[in-house]
Amino acid sequence: MDYIALEKDFDCTCRDVITQLSVVYKTEYYNGSGRLETFLDLIKTNFEKVEQGFIEKNKLTDNTEAIKRIRKIARGHAKLCLDDYGKLL
């Protein structure tokens, strides 16, 4: 398995999630109509969903090395988002 290509593909998927979350933040949370804590939970949930969906879509449920790499990437992106938006609290 080409783990580098897999990582690049998943990294791209995570960047799409970040773009979508930015839109959600601007439309539902930026003006104060939504609680930021709720948005931070949404970040975690979205990255967990995209991670699981990517694993299933690519039939990686039995590939522990691929799962480890994907989870590391997802955690990294989620942490950056949580850190960035958490500063707004």
CA atoms within 13 Å, Cβ hemisphere of 73: 25
Over residues 33-86, the pLDDT tens digits come to: 678 889 989 999 999 999 999 999 999 999 999 999 999 999 999 999 988 887
| Residue 17 clears pLDDT 90, i.e. is over it | yes
DSSP notation for the chain = --HHHHHHHHHHHHHHHHHHHHHHIIIIITTSSS-HHHHHHHHHHHHHHHHHHHHHHTT-TT-HHHHHHHHHHHHHHHHHHHHHHHTT-
| pTM > 0.95: yes or no | no
Say what the pLDDT of residue 19 is: 93
Closest to 17 measured CA to CA, from 89, 75, 83: 75
| Residue 89 clears pLDDT 70, i.e. is over it | no
| Residue 88 clears pLDDT 90, i.e. is over it | no
| Residue 31 clears pLDDT 90, i.e. is over it | no
Q: What is d(CA 14, CA 68) in angstroms, rounded to the nearest whole number?
A: 15
37 or 19: which carries more pLDDT confidence?
A: 19
